[in-house]
Amino acid sequence: MNTRPPLPPFTRESAIEKVRLAEDGWNSRDPSKVALAYSLETKWRNRAEFANNRDEAQAFLQRKWKKELDYRLIKELWAFTENRIAVRYAYEWHDDSGNWFRSYGNENWEFAPDGLMTRRFACVNDMPITASERLFHWPLGRRPDDHPSLSDLGL
């Protein structure tokens, strides 16, 4: 059986690690890589869009990152239980016309014993920003360890 550590039941430390690993994956903007963190039968709600398995989740991610250019994400642990994690997050991106946005959201995650995510429910709001209002300036990819967190940035 393949596993995706850290595994439930979560401790505060393992929940924080799981959140950072998810952030790192999404910052890769690689739909096929990110999709491997989800069970084959994963269920998603993202805004008003639903995914009912890993393939649909991967297709969602492909569409997302074709629209949301120069995407940079920060996630932060909000709460956790044995096999569930709640996060808050913000990400910055621009559209193909150069309009910048900061998207704020919350996600609720549920995990199987193997560490794969079985359910993901996301609520997201987009706020237009100017390029000068951007706060996430690291090179595309993984957020550097010394970059401020959402709390550090006052978000």
pLDDT in tens, the chain (155 residues): 689 999 999 999 999 999 999 999 999 999 999 999 999 999 999 999 999 999 999 999 999 999 999 999 999 999 999 999 999 999 999 999 999 999 999 999 999 999 999 999 999 999 999 999 999 999 999 999 999 999 999 99
Q: How far apart are CA 152 and CA 155, in angstroms?
A: 8
As to burial, measured by CB atoms within 10 angstroms (0-12 exposed, 13-18 middle, 19+ buried), residue 4 is: middle
Is the bond leading into 6 cis (omega within 30 degrees of zero)? yes
